[in-house]
Chains A and B, each alone.
Chain A
């Protein structure tokens, strides 16, 4: 059971907008720790998509965005493309466990 909760799967048609939620608690997101997001295409290493709740690293398109409020965070992908099909993970810090923690991951399927 992950400290950060994500839906197991989401889907959308090309061109549509999808959001992936990440729900934490008072010892992680609720404390004010930032959330970061990673994309993992099957068989490859994760890639940083969003850091510090809503900052995009160089090279990540602006159709990808992140937000955080209280104990929840969201990743939004608009203009869905076939290449977006992957697993997405949120990550933060949890003071109760003293660990960096990941969500369980969400599989995005592009229909």
Chain B
């Protein structure tokens, strides 16, 4: 049973750097994209970006200049850093596993077809002075 466990600082001041880590337990680290998503209070889901085991990344363009993603394959962990946070970055941050195949051979598609099949429990990050 694959599980994602995430952690990081929950209270930040404006201009500080958000830092979150997600650990992958019980499954392969190399066959997937590892994704960060956030959800502001009372609002919907927003894709932040993603990284694979070799360090290939893609980002939501409005956030790209402030976001850094990294992986530690020796620990099966991936991390998110977001610089210069403001109150607008207050949200629950989720890590998730992205895949484009179902493992049984009935569904296998390209990069644009990734879906998130396993999610972390979420970390509430509040930015306040």
Contacts and interface: CB of A to CB of B under 8 A. Distances in A.
Whether chains A and B associate is yes
Contacts, number: 68
Interface residues of A, number: 27
A102 B115 contact: no
Interface in B40-71: 44-47, 50, 58, 60-61
Interface string B115-129: 111111110000000
Given A102-B44, A105-B45, A55 B102 contact: yes
Interface in A29-78: 33-34, 36, 38, 44-48, 51-52, 55, 57
A72 to B, nearest CB: 18
Nearest to A47: B119
Given A51-B107, A52-B109, A46 B94 contact: yes
A28 to B, nearest CB: 10
Contact of A93 (B61, B113, B120, B122): B113
Contacts of B35: 100
A18 interface: no
Contacts of B47: 99-102
A51 B45 contact: no
B45 A45 contact: no
Contact of A52 (B50, B113, B116): B113
Nearest to A28: B112
B113 A102 contact: no
Contacts of B116: 36, 38, 46, 48, 91
B45 A97 contact: no
Interface of A: 2, 33-34, 36, 38, 44-48, 51-52, 55, 57, 89, 91, 93, 95, 97-105
Given A36-B115, A55-B102, A98-B61, 15 more contacts: A34-B109, A45-B119, A46-B45, A48-B118, A51-B102, A52-B107, A57-B102, A91-B45, A97-B60, A97-B61, A99-B61, A100-B35, A100-B114, A102-B45, A102-B47
11 contacts: A34-B109, A34-B113, A55-B102, A55-B107, A91-B45, A97-B61, A99-B47, A101-B47, A102-B44, A102-B45, A102-B46
Q: Which 10 A-B pairs have the closest CB atoms?
A: A36-B115, A45-B119, A93-B112, A100-B47, A51-B115, A102-B45, A105-B44, A104-B44, A48-B117, A52-B107
